[in-house]
């Protein structure tokens, strides 16, 4: 069995390629004249293998004018870049019209393959935004090279930007990764784009839980995305305020998106969902957890249950050839069938599932079945606060316990898993125990060296 890790020659080629990349970074330069001089100097340089173009906390009117000049130079010279990153950590106090024009030029000319835009609005998110705060994404659908788009805005989503994203999702065949972090994010507004997209593989939707404007909850996000089975997502990350009960929406999402390899759901902002109070100080007391039903489902995925499911599946196959005379139990049979489909999917090819919900005040009964869920479904990981009695099983899952039951794991993954265990910072007392467990799994299981440990 060959190791699935880069060879030394491949590593050398990658390092050589990185050394030959042209990068431009302008970060926190307090002198606008110096910033303009550095930007305009790009017109006099011979640029090949253009990689990263990064701007952080340097934008103002004069800098944007210089950038427009240089971007037009890139267009005229046919210079294409891999990535554009624009970040402003302070609230924007200048006219953003030139920034709109800059981004429009970049998109219409397909200058960048990856775009990351993180801007703070001039106004608090609870207030009506200025007309200039939107329209950052105009002409984004014309970027024929765009493979990755990350938008982090604390202003409300404008109608222009929403329509641009819908068009992008509908027509783009190159976009693979999309990240949207928006105050007041309304996932339903993009339904038309999601319904026509089958090329996106990674999606991250985030709305700060402390947002003071109406926005999609975790339940809304999962319910909306479960309506589009034509999407072929492999990685999905959802973060927003939560609801009292989320298990049913989560299960529908898993049934709809069976190609998922990684799913992360993070709740916050309401005491009902096991997050923190609005002040962010004290953990909420819970009588139940929004994922209770889902944790119980995973706790029941025992070997005996799996065998019973296999027998039941055989009976359903036989029954499929028998004419149905009465259908008064059809709805109940359909629900049962969906439950069995989900269980079978989780057992055979379920994704890595990371759930962020506070279980600091979990009852003894909750602790019992969540521990069983962590053991029966080793691809489950918990974040936030949880009782110390869950710590070991959760840490072992984070470090890759699911690899121990898979004999086909590439050898190259084991050093990564062991390194992750060796670098546990918040759980140093578990390092040696976790490494010990990993050395008895997978590729090491049949070796006499470790069999006697």
The per-residue pLDDT for range 136-165, each reduced to its tens digit, is 888 999 999 999 999 998 766 788 889 999
pLDDT at position 284:
38
Q: Is residue 430 part of a domain?
A: yes
- Number of residues that make up the chain: 453
- 46-62: average pLDDT: 92
Decide: residue 374, CB within 10 A, 0-12 exposed, 13-18 middle, 19+ buried: buried
Among 124-133, 285-294, 387-396, the minimum mean pLDDT is found in: 124-133
Provide the pLDDT confidence category of residue 248 given band limits of 50, 70 and 90: very high
C-alpha 284/C-alpha 277 separation (Å) is 7
Does residue 280 form part of some domain? no
Tell me if 309 sits within 8 A of 343, measured CB to CB.
yes
Candidate from 127-131, 196-200, 446-450 with smallest mean pLDDT: 127-131
Residue with the larger pLDDT of the pair 349 and 127: 349
Q: Is residue 208 part of a domain?
A: no
Confidence band, pLDDT 50/70/90 cuts, at residue 167:
very high
Average pLDDT over residues 21-26: 94
Q: Which pLDDT band holds residue 301 (cuts at 50, 70, 90)? A: confident
- If pLDDT is split at 50, 70 and 90, which confidence band does 416 have? confident
Domain-located, residue 161: no
Residues 6+ apart with CB under 8 A from 160: 134, 135, 137, 138
User: pLDDT class for 360, splitting at 50, 70, 90?
Assistant: confident
- 438 within domain boundaries: yes
Q: Phi, psi at residue 51, to the nearest 5°?
A: -110, -85
**290 neighbors 246 (Cβ within 8 angstroms):** yes
CB 150 within 8 A of CB 113: no
Q: What are the distances in angstroms from CA 121 to CA 89, 124, 132, 205, 224?
A: 10, 7, 10, 19, 27
**122 lies in a domain?**
no
On whether residue 303 sits in a domain, the answer given is no
Q: How many domains does the chain have?
A: 1
CA–CA separation, 106 and 163 (whole Å): 18
* Domain residue limits at 440: 411-453
- On the question of pLDDT at 291 being above 70, the answer is yes
Asked whether residue 432 is domain-assigned, the answer is yes
Write the pLDDT tens digit of every residue in 320-353.
444 444 454 555 545 557 777 888 888 878 899 9
Evaluate if residue 26 carries a pLDDT over 90. yes
Q: Say which range, 69-83, 141-155, 228-242, 437-451, has the weakest mean pLDDT.
A: 437-451
The whole-number average pLDDT for the span 288-293 is 84
């Amino acid at each position: 069995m060959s190791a699935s890790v880069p060879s030394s020659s491949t590593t050398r080629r990658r390092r050589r390629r990185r050394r030959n990349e042209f990068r431009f970074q302008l970060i926190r330069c307090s002198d606008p004249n110096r910033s303009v001089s550095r930007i305009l100097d790009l017109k006099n340089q011979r640029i090949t293998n253009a990689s990263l173009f990064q701007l952080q906390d340097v934008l103002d009117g004069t800098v944007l004018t210089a950038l427009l000049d240089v971007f037009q130079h890139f267009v005229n010279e046919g210079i294409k870049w891999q990535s554009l990153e624009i970040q402003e950590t302070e609230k924007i106090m200048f006219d953003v019209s030139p920034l709109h024009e800059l981004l429009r030029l970049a998109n219409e000319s397909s200058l960048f393959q990856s775009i990351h835009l993180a801007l703070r609005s001039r106004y608090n998110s609870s207030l009506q935004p200025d007309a200039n705060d939107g329209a950052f994404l105009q002409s984004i659908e014309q970027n024929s090279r765009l493979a990755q788009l990350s938008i982090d805005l604390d202003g409300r989503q404008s109608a222009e930007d929403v329509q641009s994203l819908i068009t992008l999702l509908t027509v783009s065949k190159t976009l693979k990764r999309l990240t949207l972090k928006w105050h007041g994010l309304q996932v339903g507004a993009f339904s038309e784009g999601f319904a026509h997209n089958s090329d996106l593989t990674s999606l991250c939707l985030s709305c700060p839980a402390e947002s003071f404007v109406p926005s999609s909850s975790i339940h809304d996000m999962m319910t909306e995305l479960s309506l589009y089975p034509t999407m072929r997502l492999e990685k999905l990350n959802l973060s927003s305020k939560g609801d009292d009960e989320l298990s049913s929406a989560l299960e529908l999402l898993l049934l709809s998106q069976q190609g998922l390899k990684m799913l992360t759901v993070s709740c916050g902002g309401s005491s009902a969902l096991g997050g923190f109070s609005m002040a962010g100080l004290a953990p909420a007391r819970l009588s139940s957890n929004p994922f209770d039903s889902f944790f119980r489902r995973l706790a029941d995925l025992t070997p005996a249950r799996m065998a019973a499911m296999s027998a039941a599946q055989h009976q359903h196959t036989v029954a499929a050839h028998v004419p149905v005379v009465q259908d008064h139990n059809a709805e109940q049979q359909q629900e049962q069938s969906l439950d069995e489909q989900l269980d079978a999917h989780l057992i055979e090819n379920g994704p890595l599932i990371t759930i962020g919900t506070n279980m600091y005040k979990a009852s003894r009964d909750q602790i019992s079945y969540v521990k069983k869920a962590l053991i029966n479904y080793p691809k489950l990981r918990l974040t936030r606060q949880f009782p110390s009695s869950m710590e070991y099983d959760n840490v072992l899952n984070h470090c890759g316990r699911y690899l121990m039951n898979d004999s086909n794991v590439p050898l190259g993954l084991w050093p990564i898993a062991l390194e992750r265990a060796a670098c546990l910072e918040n759980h140093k007392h578990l390092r040696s125990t976790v490494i010990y467990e990993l050395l008895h799994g997978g590729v090491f299981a049949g070796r006499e060296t470790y069999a006697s440990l």
